[in-house]
Amino acid sequence: MCGITARIGDDDSLDDLLVSLKNLEYRGYDSAGIAVQNGAGIEVSKCEGEVAELKSQLATNDHDGPIGIGHTRWSTHGPPTDENAHPHTGCKGRVVAVHNGIIENYNALREGLQARGHEFTSDTDTEVIPHLVEERLEAGMDPEVAFRDAVGELDGSYAIAMMVDGDPAVYATRNGSPLVVGVGEEANYLASDVPAFLEFTDRVVYLEDDDVVVITPEDHHITDLTGNAVSRPVETVDWDPEDAEKGGYDHYMLKEIHEQPVSLRQTIRGRIEGEDVVLEDFPPGTFNDVSRVQFIACGTSYHAGMYGEWLLSKWGVDANTFIASEYAAYPAPVDEETLVIGVTQSGETADTLEALKSARERGARTLAVTNVIGSTAARTCDDALFIRAGPEIGVAATKTFSSQVASLVLLGERLVRDVTGGPTEECQQRLESLKSLPEHVERVIENSNAAAISHQWLGGGGHFFIGRGNAYPVALEGALKFKEITYEHAEGFAAGELKHGPLALVTADTPVFAIGTGQHPKRLESNVREIQTRGAPVIAIAPRTETDLTDTADEFLPVPATHPDLVAILANVQLQLIAYHAADEMERSIDKPRNLAKSVTVE
Ligand code: M6R
């Protein structure tokens, strides 16, 4: 995965390109580069490192022009070096391209090009693209035809942008990787994602697979791969550009943790009326034909899916959760009564898209629970439920997890009513409690003592997180967040499993965070005592009413008492803060942890 961008205007493009690249860094940040046309040729500047490094190099160059493309990289083929940074050029420097995705047949293409005399300067799969186009230009094709014809040779997933020296346009296409056009007043834009150019324009055109777009300073036109005109609507996005900036916080992650009361309100707004759930695209009866539900997702979204599974199973709906990369390779049986729910913040995670495709091809009904309108998951699934969390820039998912779970509570209400003929009285109580969730999260954030506790055991034997029921996925999520941004060892366990093996690791150096929801107090208390007997400190995260747990634990992170099915969402906010403050203490790269990227568009 990588971020690509372009700016096509009559005035200089460099500043806008650098802003867009900065906004795309969540997609990868191990090297960056730009290429601009300035009337006297194409100037390429690229380097290993983040966009800031590129910017400082550019400060000493006269490197501007009205049409440019840019790239920020997360390496797949070849290590992060200056040579492997994009953009890449053909032999003559006349064609320049940036690419997100993987060209699967690049070896064969490269060998063919080399046999015809082309010389390569990088290890990347991308470099075949400008060479293929260059050959076609030399054979007399015009740039648009040459681009389309070269793309026809590629197998794999890609979003590509390309320029040809002396030709005032950018050519782009996609297949399995996101790409969106920004329609501006002074210039037009292209990027992997809307926040890249949101401060310049909110008018966007979402491209579909195999669309080829030609963008000039004044216009854009779209065709299919054979050159037939294609029409795509210009849509207006309602995200505020300031939402995508840090707003006074040291890190996006902290800002996004603090945004949760607002994002949760957005998720819930207008969706609960009296005792009923009102989901615009899912009126009562929508799921009458569903007999089982499968969640597929990765990482944090997988934990949200597990939470959803727990809620549905508890209400009598047959539900399971699958890791998307496993499901894609080893799919579970489905039929036309199976609803497969892809939980994906970005809507672009390749593993999840592939798993959804496999389910769809085998006859299942698919539904995306996603944050991004216009994302591939939203467009390719039969239905989509938007979590409305707003843009999330920090690589570590925070506010989107809460909004995913809240969305699954809402969707679960519709499902349980349609599948089992509910609602039960308990469903109605939970819906009532969901309305108060934003205020409860606000209280957790305002009163959290996580900063004081988080640093106490850093550098020790590891951090463990345990819970039962719906607290189990949150234990996994707490551990994921902790390891992801602190680089310390952390693991999540079902509390009852500790004694079946992991207890061997527990010493005075392994703090254990125990999440109490009030549903299994005595059993959890026993687990806590088993841990303390081995000398480990236990930190309880629970409502004050859970005295079995809070009186036993060594430290206590309180959360407001609410419906037990929702308590774990509040506990998760405390765990986000624990991870954040620990990572801050350790001076980690919190918003861009090493080796990771926000949107994982490779399998
Ligand atoms: O965009 P998605 O929700 O599909 O992303 C899936 C995972 O890559 C993601 O949840 C990842 O685990 C988190 N960024 C970790 O904080």
Catalytic residue among 46, 481, 592, 598: 598
What pLDDT score was predicted for residue 243? 63
Averaged pLDDT, 395-424: 93
Entry pTM: 0.78
Q: Is the CB of 601 under 6 A from ligand 1?
A: no
Q: What is d(CA 409, CA 427) in angstroms, rounded to the nearest whole number? A: 9
Q: How far is the CA of 298 from the centre of ligand 1 (A)?
A: 6
Cβ burial of 341 (10 Å; 0-12, 13-18, 19+) is buried
Question: Is the pLDDT confidence value at 244 over 70?
Answer: no
Give the residue, by CA position, lying nearest to ligand 1 atom 4: 344
Nearest to 464 by CA among 494, 430, 434, 422: 494
Enclosing H/E stretch for 115: helix 106-115
Higher pLDDT, 388 or 187: 187
Query: Which atom of ligand 1 is nearest the CA belonging to 377?
Result: 4
Chain segment 123-142, per-residue pLDDT in tens: 999 999 999 999 999 999 99
Tell which one of 74, 298, 306, 381 to mutate to probe ligand 1, the residue whose CB is within 8 A of the most ligand atoms: 298
427 as an active site residue: the answer is no
CATH number 3.40.50.10490 is the correct assignment for the domain at 246-445: yes
Question: What is the assigned CATH class of domain 448-603?
Answer: alpha beta
CATH of 3-241, one of 2.60.40.1120, 3.60.15.10, 3.60.20.10, 3.40.50.300: 3.60.20.10
What number does the ligand 1 atom closest to the CA of 481 have?
Answer: 16
Residue 395 CB–ligand 1 contact under 6 Å: yes
3-241 and 448-603 have identical folds: no
Does ligand 1 come within 6 angstroms of the Cβ of 300?
yes
Say which of 2, 298, 381, 427 is annotated catalytic: 2
Give the whole-angstrom CA distance, residue 379 versus residue 394: 24
β-sheet with 338-344: strand ranges across? 318-323, 292-297, 338-344, 365-370, 383-386
Query: Quick check: 425 pLDDT over 80?
Result: no
2 is catalytic: yes
Cβ–ligand 1 distance for 349 under 6 Å, the answer: yes
Q: Residue 569: pLDDT above 90?
A: yes
Residue 132, burial from CB neighbour count under 10 angstroms (0-12, 13-18, 19+): buried
| pLDDT 10s digits, 60-113 | 666 789 999 999 987 777 778 999 999 999 999 999 999 998 898 999 999 999
Domain coordinates of the chain in residue numbers? 3-241, 246-445, 448-603
pLDDT band of 1, cuts 50, 70, 90: low
Q: Is 397 in the pocket of ligand 1 (CB under 6 A)?
A: yes
CA 404 to ligand 1: nearest atom: 3
